[in-house]
Each structure stands twice: as C-alpha cells, then as structure tokens.
C-alpha cells in the first residue's frame, strides 16, 4: 500500500446481488467486506495503547485532529497470534447513525472485486453469524465475507 491516504468512491453495484468487495489479508487468510462500509484507508501507524482495553484494541491514533480507536482485526478474529506490525493499513469504518470512526488494522489491502456477478461466486451464506456474511470464490481462492460493522460495534459500545 502506498504511503499516502486513499479514499474510495464506489459506484453502486447493480441490484442483482453483486457487491463491490474490498479484499484484505490478515495472516494467511483473505477477507472481504463491502467497499461502501469503508470510509478511507490510511497507512499503518503507531497507536497509544489504552490500559485495561481488550487485547484486540490496538490503541488510539490522532487522524487529522480526530481520535480514532484502532482494532487489530487478527486479534479480534483470533485469526493470527501475531499482531499487525509496523506495516499494513488501517481501514476507517463509519458506523451508520454515529459520528464516530473506528480503524481496523489489517496486514494488506489487496483489491476491490465485484462478488456475486457469477452464479457460483458466493458459495455459502451466513447462518446466523453476525460477523461473517458468507464465503465466496475469488481468483480460485476462498474469501471470508465479513460484516465489518458487526465486528467493530462492540468497540463503540465499550
């Protein structure tokens, strides 16, 4: 990821169930979320750790005068024992109905793809799990589709 901030402006996907999906990596697993849920992506930066915060809260950063809580997605999902180190990106998520922004630290932001355009794209839908929307085939691999709002909602209510 380049060292400058980038903002995504995504057109609305057709109504056929297609979703513009942001692909990102945590550990060896590729995840995806709706690109419309991501406000901005910034390079990883050091955070001020909060005493007593859950282990998945990386800390606080000051982003252009706004204090942002950053969640380590690998620790949140217990997907990897290693914390996101000095490289990677922070995806900024705005919660619907709230003015707060939460950062989600990932190891690599990869690409934006349209998922759901072919009949066999989505191979499984979520069965009652709020955080996981389902699984999809992308470039011959399996991607776990996340509801990023559900993952960070707990941080906003703490």
What does the domain layout of the chain look like in residue ranges? 19-156
Instruction: Decide: residue 60, CB within 10 A, 0-12 exposed, 13-18 middle, 19+ buried.
Output: middle
CA 48 to chain CA centroid, nearest Å = 20
**What pTM, to 2 d.p., does this model score?**
0.79
Residue 67 DSSP SS3: strand
pLDDT, position 77:
80
pLDDT, position 4:
43
Q: Which ranges of 19-147 would DSSP assign to H, the alpha helix?
A: 73-77
**CATH 3.40.1550.10 assigned to 19-156:** no
pLDDT tens digit at each of 158 positions of the chain = 444 444 433 344 334 467 899 999 998 899 999 999 999 999 999 899 999 988 889 999 999 999 999 999 888 887 655 555 567 999 999 888 878 899 999 999 999 998 876 655 666 565 556 788 888 888 888 999 999 998 888 666 65
């Amino acid at each position: 990821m380049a060292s400058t901030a980038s903002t995504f402006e995504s057109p609305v996907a057709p109504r056929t169930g297609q979703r513009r999906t942001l692909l990102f990596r945590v550990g060896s697993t590729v995840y995806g979320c709706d690109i419309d849920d991501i406000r901005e992506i910034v390079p990883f930066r050091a955070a001020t750790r909060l005493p007593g915060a859950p282990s998945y809260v990386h800390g606080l950063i000051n982003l252009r005068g706004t204090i942002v809580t950053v969640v380590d997605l690998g620790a949140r999902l217990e997907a990897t024992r290693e914390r996101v180190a000095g490289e990677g990106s922070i995806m900024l998520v705005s919660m619907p109905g709230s003015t707060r922004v939460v950062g989600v630290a990932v190891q690599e932001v990869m690409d934006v793809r349209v998922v759901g355009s072919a009949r066999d794209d989505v191979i499984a839908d979520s069965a009652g799990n709020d955080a996981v929307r389902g699984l999809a085939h992308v470039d011959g691999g399996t991607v776990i589709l996340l509801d990023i709002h559900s993952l960070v909602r707990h941080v906003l209510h703490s």
